Structure 1
């Protein structure tokens, strides 16, 4: 196998370094798409690379080589890759496939449970108010989805901020943010090196919903105050238990934990998700950042082309050992 088969693995090691800059400097909607695509494409490409390397080891075994009418000795002579590399790749491939399958199964069960829970919440306008002193609010995906808000959260916010809360949660439902989270997590399940992408997506979908609420109300500062007030309320009261892991809310998937950095005096780079969201709302809206977009597109194109080239190399190798 040539160098192309190792390119996706190398990119999976380096590309996650750009997850944080992409989430902080690029418009949230575009950043979410780019981060999700990066996790999914690099996860797929690296898995393909592991599979191709594993195959080069399998065809060196006389029994398996005989099934494909290949020459095991020819494979050992024609392929410069070490057998140990192929064996390690096979073990990593097995782990990646198992982890991805488990993640898909758990995600499918979660979404099914969310849809069932949403169907059991009768409401005309999609809003469900729960009598609970705990401050919490979240969007529950379903057919259709539901917005669940506790009375504690409504009491914690000013009446004028209720529309901001609802606009934020509606953005989660209408943009299908749970799908972006699931796809990003799938890529990270196949390749743990890509976890920064999945983590960044859980942040950018909240920023996306924040910006949707700001666009709907026309007041970014008021949205920033609502986000901060909601986080403070949840910080001082036990959060209402999420119905399922698919729920997305104004507090983010990490809930009040992101508030810990509000009292810090250090740079914003060390702050949690909520302080960074508030700071972003108090600043002018972010642009599309063409440089970051172009670099991300180039990385994904390189991974895709390298996978295709590596598959072609394997095809040539199999033809060669078949005629050995």
Structure 2
């Protein structure tokens, strides 16, 4: 447990460093799914490792040990984790749980607000054009998602560029990109080290929509011009919390659209999969070690409190314990 319990922390740190790079070397759609899986596994591994470390401290409280019927002395002898580490892990886990709850409430409010905005729009079509001179364009997610574009934005673009802009926003809706965003925000709230991954994920979603629009229009340069002009036109404008074509790192998106599409590479995905598998295996190993540690402490407690059975009486506790797996194994003798 001493080594394996810390592997999820190392995996999280590696993902925080490599996620921005992964967003630029993989095709956007594959990168989005890879980052989503990485965020989910890393967040679970982070929380599980913190819980195991915190348990080693909580289990040494006499009242908890009495309820669990294990020996505090044996538990301390088995566990090499310092009490201050266990206390710090419990504090970080508690703060992360509170932050996760607050983020979940915020995301729920965001979805409710988006759904209300969709209901307020009078048009029943997917595209809603609002009479506003401010250049705005964004997608409202929901059961009946809407694409909202202002007349001011339409006047800034040519006919082909308007088609590219609408295809971009439609890709956000059809790809359920708001669910990816929600996952990354929640995992980053639980584990602050995953914030770079969430930022990279937002860029990947915009690139995904750009590539979908390029396939729909048939010209990558048209999409690049549409993205650039829309970003310049809407500079300084306040957008609602929704997916928009002007989001993300616009210069990098335009540069990627003017370059050939990225090839499909398997090596980064395989390396990432092995990294996540190591996180899962190490967490399972640490949990197994913790379970054996508790069994050993319970064995020690039974050994201390067991009484010698009288003649003809069946023993009510284990008669003896011998060492197993470097510690204890409980065996019952029947007369």
Equivalent residues of 1:60, 1:72 under 8 A apart: yes
Q: In 1, distance between residues paired with 2:142 and 2:37? A: 24
- The residue number in structure 1 matching 2:35 is 35
Taking the aligned partners of 1:220 and 1:293, their CA distance within structure 2 comes to 26
For 1:298 and 1:135, the matched residues in 2 are separated by 45
Answer with 1 or 2: which has the greater Rg: 2
Give the alignment partner of residue 310 of structure 1, picking from 286, 292, 300: 286
Once the two structures are TM-superposed, the CA of residue 293 in structure 1 deviates from its matched residue by: 1.0
State the partner residue of 2:271.
Answer: 295
Answer whether contact 2:42 2:279 (CA < 8 A) is retained. yes
TM-score, structure 2 length as denominator? Answer: 0.87
> Would you say how many aligned residue pairs link Structure 1 and Structure 2?
300
Tell me if the contact between 1:135 and 1:240 (Cα under 8 Å) persists in the aligned partners.
Answer: no
Structure 1 segments unaligned to the other structure (5+ residues)? 255-272
CA distance in 2, matches of 1:310, 1:100: 24
Matched, 1:134 2:134: yes
* CA drift at 1:288: 2.4
Asked if structure 2 preserves the Cα contact closer than 8 Å seen for 1:40 and 1:186, the reply is: no
Which deviations, in whole Å up to 9, do the C-alpha atoms of 1:122-156 show, x marking residues without a partner? Answer: 32321111111111100001111110111111011
CA distance in 2: counterparts of 1:35 and 1:231, whole angstroms = 26
Is the contact between residue 138 and residue 149 of structure 1 (CA under 8 Å) also seen in structure 2?
yes
The aligned residue for residue 221 of structure 1 is 221
* CA apart distance, 1:160: 2.1
Alignment partners' CA distance in 1, 2:185 and 2:276: 17
Residue of structure 1 in register with 2:191 after alignment:
191
Q: Does structure 2 conserve the Cα–Cα contact (< 8 Å) formed by 1:54 and 1:87?
A: yes
The answer to whether the 8 A contact 1:44-1:190 is kept is no
Partner of 1:248: 243
Distance 1:287 1:100 in 2: 36
TM-score, structure 1 as length reference? 0.90
Deviation at 1:58, TM superposition (A): 0.7
Residue 239 of structure 1 aligns with which residue? 237
Structure (1 or 2) with the greater helix fraction: 1
Match for residue 181 of structure 1? 181
Return the match for 1:283 from 259, 275, 285.
259
Asked if the contact 2:52/2:290 (under 8 Å) is kept, the reply is yes
Other structure's SS at 1:323 match: helix
C-alpha distance in 2 between matches for 1:6 and 1:33: 26
| C-alpha displacement of 1:183 | 0.5
Aligned-residue RMSD, C-alpha: 1.1
CA distance in 2 between partners of 1:104 and 1:307 (Å): 25
Contact kept? 1:27, 1:286, Cα under 8 Å? yes
The answer to whether the 8 Å contact 1:31/1:204 transfers is yes
* Aligned equivalent of 2:154: 154
Moved more, 105-114 or 206-215: 105-114
Matched, 1:92 2:68: no
> What's the counterpart of residue 81 of structure 1?
81
1:292-318 Cα distance to aligned partner (Å, 9 max, x none): 111111111111111111111111111
Kept after mapping to 1: 8 A contact 2:140/2:148:
yes
| Partner Cα separation in structure 2 for residue 288 and residue 138 of structure 1 | 29
Distance in structure 2 (CA, Å) of the matches to 1:116 and 1:234:
24
